[in-house]
């Protein structure tokens, strides 16, 4: 069985304590809403700097990168993530 909360006239709701505990939520945490098969899934978006380590892969050994190369790698990673988000959004709408 799930838990319920009431929606206010301003479109706000209180996240029940059981849900906050389950997701380990704290004030200021950001939530994500994913649409899937006529349902909405709520998750957290908690990232620390250390969680991003290695996201761009490992540079070739012995080679240092120029700032332009780092910027390009970041933009490529962002573009791939953006494509994934848009694809998931379209799949959730269909």
17-73 residue pLDDT tens: 998 888 888 888 888 888 888 888 888 876 666 666 676 676 667 677 788 888 888
Instruction: Supply the pTM of this predicted model.
Output: 0.45
pLDDT of residue 67: 86
pLDDT of residue 69: 84
Name the pLDDT band for 76 (thresholds 50, 70, 90).
confident
Q: Each residue of 76-88: b (16+ CB within 10 Å) or e?
A: eeeeeeeeeeeee
pLDDT of residue 88: 83
pLDDT of residue 78: 83
Phi, psi (rounded to 5 degrees) for 44: -110, 155
């Amino acid at each position: 069985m799930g838990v319920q909360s009431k929606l206010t006239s301003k479109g706000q709701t209180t996240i029940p304590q059981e849900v906050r505990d389950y997701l380990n939520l704290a004030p200021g945490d950001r939530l994500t809403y994913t649409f899937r098969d006529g349902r909405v899934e709520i998750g957290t978006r908690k990232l620390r700097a250390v969680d991003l380590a290695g996201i761009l892969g490992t540079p070739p050994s012995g080679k240092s990168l120029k700032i332009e190369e780092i910027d390009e790698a970041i933009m490529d990673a962002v573009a791939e993530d953006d494509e994934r988000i848009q694809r998931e959004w379209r799949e959730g709408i269909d």
